[in-house]
Amino acid sequence: MAEKNGRILAVDDNADILFALKMLLKPHFEVIRTETNPERIPQHMAEEDFDVILLDMNFNKDAISGKEGYNWLSKILEIDPGAIVLFITAYGDVEKSVRAIKAGATDFIIKPWQNEKLLATIWSAMKLKKSQKEVSNLRERQKEINTLMDQPFADFIGVSAGMQRVFKTIQKVAGTDANILILGENGTGKELVARALHRYSLRNNETFISVDLGALSESLFESELFGHMKGAFTDAKADRPGRFELASGGTLFLDEIGNLSLPLQAKLLTVLERREVTRVGANRPTPIDIRLISATNMGIKQMAAEGDFRQDLLYRINTVEIDLPPLRERPEDIPLLAQHFLKIYAKKYNSQVSKLSASVIKKLTDYPWPGNVREFQHVIERTIIMSDSATLTEHDFQLSAQGQATEGFDLDTYNLDEVERIIIEKVLRNNQGNVSKAASELGLTRTSLYRRLEKHGL
């Protein structure tokens, strides 16, 4: 027997008519709601999303003209402009039929009806509703995709051995569907690597969806990633696909995956294993087909060893790892990056700047760039905006004091935020990047230290 589906609301002041309708429709549709009082229509529509509404044209107050039916049709369409309404009347004629269609009704049923004809009319209306939902979902999906894809970015470049290893790995794995984990400090270009993997993949004609998990609260996690149905919670005004659905067929990039709590890690693992998502408020799962790329600036292997990150999830997301070197470890790339950003921002701001002096290159190379390429890019942009000459000199560049700190504690600043950053960097170096040992030495919990690492972009 075929599975029943479809939600029907029938409104008529004649209880016998409603009983007959329910008996006829019950074997064919999932939900049948009946109502004798049209005043309760808004309440029914608030509680459920109906595929078809059967509406009596003539109630007791107005037994012939159909005016009350038209008024309720108007209110239904005001509540839901996409509602599918079938008028039912014992006084059907061509004029009323045409007027009902013009008023927004989908079709017209005359009492007494023929059972087969009534069912055929409802099935036809159901197909129309399904088509409307598909079009609406496509529009919503395209709207979300356009918003998410409208993010300009520059290509990453480098001639250093570390970057050449990155490029070689991208070439090897881009054409596969292997799950990739990108490791690297903040500002090293993890999203650029993810976009390059997508651009050179077999999915490059499909969507690339990026999600910053570090900026996503636990309460919004399921709604944002898995989607929700209308009415699932207070602000759920319409059905909305999640990022997994939007990325289906293409690539999903989960940035800062190390920020997920253990309960959210479990939910993510379930979705990845089953390859399906269930929207919040939905009863049925939706299959997904994604290529997963994840990234983090945290010591995720150490977290897994200490029980802060699920080992089974780590295995799932890192079929291949790509480790991005920090800018301080590839000084030979700095002249290339400087010229690259100089060209971009001189054009953007219509600047006469066209050259960098040799002293500038030395100053930029000697600086440790704690914010990596992101900081480097911002420094070049700011300097070009403020410069009045064609050639930039070392005096044009104002580099932050924390980047100039030495191995000791002879500080050039008394700014508490900068002092905190310098101390954290030194303690991490002394402990070879072991967050647990560094946190213990600093008198902090690992969670508190991770928050400070995020705050300072370390």
pLDDT truncated to tens, each residue of the chain (458 aa)? Answer: 456 788 999 998 888 889 999 999 998 898 999 999 889 999 999 888 888 999 887 765 555 555 777 888 889 988 888 888 988 877 555 566 667 677 778 887 877 888 888 898 899 888 888 887 777 777 666 666 555 444 433 457 889 999 999 999 999 999 999 999 999 998 899 999 999 999 899 998 899 999 999 888 888 898 899 998 888 787 778 888 999 999 999 999 999 999 899 999 999 999 999 999 999 998 899 999 999 999 999 889 989 998 999 999 999 999 999 999 999 999 999 999 999 999 888 888 888 888 888 888 999 999 999 889 999 999 999 999 988 888 888 888 888 654 544 444 555 565 667 778 888 888 887 777 777 778 777 777 777 787 788 778 77
Query: What is the CATH code for 7-133?
Result: 3.40.50.2300
Query: What is the CATH code for 328-399?
Result: 1.10.8.60
pLDDT for the residue 395: 84
Q: Which stretch of DSSP H or E encloses residue 11?
A: strand 7-11
Partnered with residue 277 across adjacent β-strands are 286
Domain 161-323 has CATH 3.30.950.10: no
Fold adopted by 404-456: Arc Repressor Mutant, subunit A (1.10.10)
pLDDT for the residue 99: 73
The yes-or-no answer to whether 7-133 and 161-323 have a common fold is: yes
Domain boundaries of the chain, sorted by first residue: 7-133, 161-323, 328-399, 404-456
pLDDT for the residue 454: 79
